[in-house]
Amino acid sequence: MRTHILIAAAAAPLIVVQLSGCSRAVAEAQEAKPAPVQRAVELTIYPDDFTLVHERRPVQLQIGTQKVQLTDVSKQLDPRSVMLDWANAPDLPAPTSNSYDLGVNNGTELMKRYLGQQVELVRYDSNGGESNREKGTLMVSNDGQTVIKTGDKFLINPPGTIVAPTQSDIVTIPQLAVQVDSPRAASVDLNVSYLTRGLSWGADYVAELLPSDDAISLQCWATITNKTGATFPNAKVTLMAGQPNRAARKARNLAYGTSDVMATESQLGYVASPTFVAGHVRYSDDESIPALQERVGDLQAYSVAKPSDIVQDQMNRLVLMSSKRVPIKREYRASMPSLSSYGWTDYYYSSNRENPRGVVTMAFSFKNSEKDGLGDALPAGALRIYGSDKSGAKRYLGASDVWNAPKDAKVDVTLANAFDLYTMRKVAASKKINKRTVRKTIEIVVHNAKPAAADVVVVQGFNGKWKIADENVKHVNADASTVKWTVRVPAASEQTLKFSVDLS
């Protein structure tokens, strides 16, 4: 049994929706749309799904009270954040009210708009011709169930096509309706600002290890993800690093109808949204133009030099900054499990462990300074690094997180586990010194299968009170509970670090 709904108007396109069990659209003609409006767009985009949209839209006003329809707005805008004022007509009264309509996305939502209203049910014969037409009132339209009251009877899930008249208050695309009371006819510009979810950005770093192995080339890209359902043409884009406090609101996504649970906006993650296709990634036209930076309060702003089309359901990549050569300091690091006076920590130094070998990580650091080719504030993001083999072929070496780094800050990067360096560790001795103190003697053997000597920094943390009693390599305090030793290991050889520590 099938039911169709046909919304018709004289000399207007038709929308046909087929309902069978559950509602689903099978054919939908394009609704007539007004010509695209030339508007000036500015986007201030924050991390974590948060954006301020500012637009300047030309409007043709008539004398008297009227509604101005603003289409091409985000499906996820917060109606409570909308701000409106005239850009070039200070004598005009401010808009008196505004309303936001998400529009209807499918036949099920459209049918619900006609509940309690008169419709027509059209039936067809076996040849596809109209056999009869009957008027009635749409009483139920939910979960694929349709009920029409006609005369003194109810028609439950009737076969045929439901025909309903178009209505000016039913829209199929999201839009803001602005109430205006104008004393004169005028062509003016309306400033429209609002906050929206569905538009966010993140920083990605791409680095290449230079042949000298003591420097990298570095690029920082901004990846803008647009899930708003709207396209922002030729937009001036400013990216903000940092997280301002945001007002508490219900975690209800207007476009997808998620639950009404109270949460702060900064705690809200992505909800149901379009899937991004790998081919829908757009890059900036000119990679050589970096973003302009400035400090805004305690946040950092990156103004993209060229306007960009921020297209819906796409990821847009824009270059923020680049440097052809950044000096680095390489380091091999072996981090040990923390030690305490409790005996259970000894297990992590026992050869009975499932994998007794410890890893040595390859790391490097650089300084965010002008003399080292940088100096601009670096936003948090992911760093991916590449290198070249003897043939010149590019190879992926690893990845790491980069935290917000102001000017002259040190950036530490841990990339991967070294292939030909590893450690073996054990508790060589453990005895009580007094009622509260245990002395543990630790041996850490660093193995080097490289054809050259390597310096490995061994990092050891302690729980509780501690004091190094003896050691064969001099330590350096990293902080109040951590020490470091730099162990030089000859090529194709091994070296043992031995120390005793009093723990209480």
Q: Could you tell me where the beta strands, DSSP code E, fall in 172-291? A: 175-182, 186-196, 199-209, 215-226, 232-241, 248-250, 262-264, 281-283
pLDDT digits (tens, 9 = 90+) for 312-341: 888 888 888 889 999 999 899 999 999 998
At residue 312, the 3 state secondary structure works out as: coil
Interatomic CA distance for residues 68 and 87, integer angstroms: 15
481 Cβ contact partners less than 8 Å away, ≥ 6 residues apart: 461, 462, 463, 466
Structure tokens belonging to residue 381: 């993001």
317 Cα distance to chain centroid: 13
At residue 372, the 3 state secondary structure works out as: helix
Give the DSSP H or E segment for 423: strand 410-432
Asked whether 325 and 249 are in contact (CB, 8 A), the reply is no
At residue 304, the 3 state secondary structure works out as: coil
pTM of structure: 0.62
23 Cβ contact partners less than 8 Å away, ≥ 6 residues apart: 17, 106, 107, 108, 111, 144
Asked whether 503 and 464 are in contact (CB, 8 A), the reply is yes
CA angle centred on 471, ends 466 and 477, rounded to 5°? 50
pLDDT digits (tens, 9 = 90+) for 226-238: 999 889 999 999 9
The DSSP symbol for 347 reads G
Identify the CA nearest to 469 among candidates 441, 445, 443, 500. 500
Give the model's pLDDT for residue 66: 87
Interatomic CA distance for residues 382 and 223, integer angstroms: 11
pLDDT digits (tens, 9 = 90+) for 213-266: 789 999 999 889 999 988 999 999 999 887 666 654 443 443 334 333 333 333
Interatomic CA distance for residues 373 and 250, integer angstroms: 45
User: In this predicted structure, which of 152-156, 367-371, 446-450, 480-484 has the lowest mean pLDDT?
Assistant: 152-156
Give the model's pLDDT for residue 154: 86
pLDDT digits (tens, 9 = 90+) for 73-83: 888 888 888 99
CA distances from 90 to 87, 116, 189, 325 (A): 8, 44, 11, 53
Q: How many CB atoms lie within 10 A of CB 283?
A: 12
